[in-house]
Amino acid sequence: MKKLPRVLIVFTAALLILAILPEKAGAQKNIFNRGTPGELEKAKQLSLDILRDQAANRAVGNINDFQIMLVEVDDVRMAHTRVRQTVNGVPVWEGEAIVHLKENGELFTITDDLKENVAVNTQANLTPGDAIVAAEGYYAPGAQFLTEKPEADIWIYRAEDRDHLAYRVRLERLDGSEYTSAPVMFIDAHTGEKIFEYDNLQTGTGSSLYSGIVLIQTSSDGFTPPTFYMEDTVRRMGTFNMNSTGNDDFPWGGGTQSRFTYPSDIWNTTSQQAGVDAHYGAAKTFDYYREVFGRNGLNGNFGPGSATAAANSSVSLVVSRVHYGSSGAFNNAFWSGNQVSYGDGDGRRYGPFPSVDICGHELTHGVIQYTAGLNYSKESGALNESWADVFGAMVELYTRGGPPTLETWQIGEQVKSPGFAGDAMRYFYRPSIDHYSQRLYQGSCSPTYNTNDNCGVHSNSGIANYAYYLVAAGGTHTRSGITVVGIGVQKAQRIWYKALTSFMNSGTNFAGARTATLNAAAAIYGPDEVYTIAKSWCAVGVGDCPDLLVNGSLEGTIVPWIGSGPGFFYTSRGNNPSRGGTGYVYLGVNDRAAGQVYQTVSIPTTALGRLTFSLNVTSSERSFDDARDHMWFEVRDTSGHALTHYLPYTNRDNMIVPWIYQQRIFNLSYFRGKTVRIQFRVSNNNTSPTVFRIDNVSLQ
């Protein structure tokens, strides 16, 4: 990994400034290298000290009572300490922070979702059992249909009205019926009322069958003749058959789980084909995360294992289940804690679900569960779905090899509408919801059982999907019209993974995802990649577009522009109209006047190199006179030597209608990757003067 210069990133409402800073004299030497226990303890203590300093000015509670969730040192030798806020020992829902330290122990940034001024009585009136009874009463189909015993734990939940002491009650109905779900209800621990609810069943929407003849890792019992199992004890993943049958206890049941067994290690029966796809997809997902990111399994430690052990050992397996659903036509796939289940589809709208990209998608829900833990509702739920889509697509690209194709940017194209080419469940490059202004449930949203898709987690995920597509592949957003130069999938996937694992929390929203990806790009790459990330999120309506020029609007001050000469003037409160606001530069004004104004800027290789400015020309010269007064737009090097200048504007460009500004556009793509001066220069002769007014200068 190359050593990067220190990068200062300053975000304001309208601009992104990148500046390379020199190293401090006498800076600490590196203290984070391999993530040893001593290094992790040092990172923890430094992080807590930083939080204590900040807490002195914030009402976030006692830092000493916070729960340490994870401390790790990553591949670029940064340390990340995740903490959860507590009040009187009760954890605060989505009250989390991550302290990010550079390799020398200095603060890089803080991902801060701590809740201020928590006000609630932390003594419960109800027991966990009372809360479970209340939740079962709110469960519309009836508690008799639940397939697992409910669980309850206590939290402080900040609702729209106030803070509540609440039990989180987790219900589960995994029976393969149309009501299959995993409702999570928050029950007020004082009153028993339901505060909030969402469905935590993390789903797609929706020879091996899809990948031809493939190699899969299996195991056997060692006898002669042997019995083979579709179980990979190296990756600790196993694939099982749900048989598409019900049972007496649950007439809507999803089937009885059984092992795939065969006397031969050639799996080619009709029933086995979906199992081969799921097993192959799980292996490729494991290999992708290990080879690309060095991650061993969904939780980083070959798990999460389930209660199901391998047939020939005590190895606990991450389980994939196929032929799920009593009708044999279950139109879905879902992740539920430590296993993924795939329906067979109805054969018309959907085929069997274990295509490689859907396998990657569903298993990535497991990675999310063990990293950021994005809650599966509202914006964090949409991001959960989007990140699963992104890595589902990247698993498919990794599996197929070669550069991205159109199918890379489609999810479930092999599953959706069998027999119809080009049909897919979701499209990165044309999602149904492609801009933040178009998102569903923009106001308050309280999801209830099996309604509104947890406030649009699948539909709204298209916003972040499109942002990733623009980062990786580039293009022009169909709604905003903003064009982005992509940086390729290799960099894009690394940034998205780093954002998920190091800079995102359970309650991260779209604005937080933008910040997380910007921080990730700065941590492992540099200004070019940061610029592309900011531009892509801007294209989908999240945050402002980065302008390479500072104060191009010229409001309030001329800084950091530098002007000189008797022909240079600036006003922040002009009496004459400007192109928006009251500040502008004006050049010329007097006879025999020369002057200039410039700003030095570094143009990333990923920038468009499109410069625009608004120009007004008024002159005392007659319109039919010769060109006597001139104003040039120029590009110069940092020493002031001219690199190029364009045909001048003159007194003959006098605006027919006073105070009308016209936008001028220049292509500076030739100067990408260079640091240059953007300069305006004037020269008036000794006859009647001309005034050149300049405003709203922008470089993208």
CATH number of the domain that residue 189 is part of: 3.10.450.40
On the question of a cis peptide bond just before residue 560, with omega within 30 degrees of 0, the verdict is: yes
SS3 state of residue 682: strand
Q: Are residues 210 and 193 in the same domain?
A: no
**471-526 residue pLDDT tens:** 999 999 999 999 999 999 999 999 999 999 999 999 999 999 999 999 999 999 99
What CATH number does residue 314 fall under? 3.10.170.10
- What is the C-alpha radius of gyration for the chain, rounded to an integer number of angstroms? 30
17 in a domain, yes or no? no
pTM for the model: 0.85
Q: Maximum distance among all alpha carbons in the chain?
A: 107
How many residues does the structure list for the chain? 700
| Token pair in block for residue 351 | 């085929």
Amino acid type, 32: F
Residue type at 567? Answer: G
Extract the tokens encoding 355. 């295509």
Tokens 């556009």 -> residue: 665
Q: What is the DSSP letter of 567?
A: T
Catalytic pick from 96, 172, 362, 396? 362
Which residue is catalytic, options 80, 279, 323, 458?
458
303 and 336 in a common domain: yes
305 domain residue, yes or no: yes
Question: Quick one: 264 and 400 in the same domain?
Answer: no
CATH number of the structural domain spanning residue 693: 2.60.120.200
Indicate which CATH number applies to the domain containing 466.
1.10.390.10
**Residue 372 CB contacts under 8 Å (≥ 6 apart), including other chains:** 500, 501, 504, 505, 506, 508
Q: Counting Cβ atoms within 10 Å, is residue 234 exposed (0-12), middle (13-18) or buried (19+)?
A: exposed
CB-based contact 59:116 (threshold 8 Å): yes
Whether 450 is covered by a domain: the verdict is yes
Task: State whether 423 and 397 are in the same domain.
Answer: yes
What's the rounded Cα separation, in Å, for the pair 369 and 392? 15
Query: Do 466 and 378 have their domain in common?
Result: yes
Which H or E run contains 630?
A: strand 630-636
Residue 378 and residue 196: Cα distance in Å, rounded? Answer: 12
Is 378 part of any domain? yes
For the question of residue 458 being annotated catalytic, the response is yes
pLDDT of residue 274: 93
Q: In terms of domains, do 412 and 452 share one?
A: yes
Q: Is 288 helix (H, G, I), strand (E, B) or coil?
A: helix
The answer as to whether 54 is a domain residue is yes
Residue 577 vs residues 32, 224, 412, 692: alpha-carbon distances, Å? 56, 93, 55, 13
- Both tokens of residue 593? 């006047």
Active site residue 362: yes
Same domain, 582 and 529: no
| SS3 label, residue 598 | strand
| 238/94 same-domain check | no
The domain boundary, picked from 337, 352, 370, lies at 370
Are residues 363 and 512 located together in one domain of the fold? no
For residue 2, being part of any structural domain is answered with no
Q: Are 48 and 176 members of one domain?
A: no
Q: How many domains does the chain have?
A: 5
Domain boundary among 322, 337, 370: 370
Same domain, 273 and 323: yes
* Residue 57 counted as domain residue: yes
| Nearby residues of 678 by Cβ (< 8 Å), 6 or more positions away | 549, 598, 599, 600, 601, 611, 635, 697, 699
Whole-angstrom Cα distance, residue 606 to residue 530?
10
Give the pLDDT score at 624: 67
Residue 75 backbone dihedrals phi, psi, to 5 degrees:
-75, -15
- Please indicate, yes or no, if residue 458 is contained in any of the structural domains: yes
List of the chain residues with pLDDT < 50: 1-27, 205-206, 246-254
Name the residue range of residue 662's domain.
Answer: 562-699
**Residue at a domain's end among 200, 225, 258:** 200
Shared domain check, 365 and 493: no
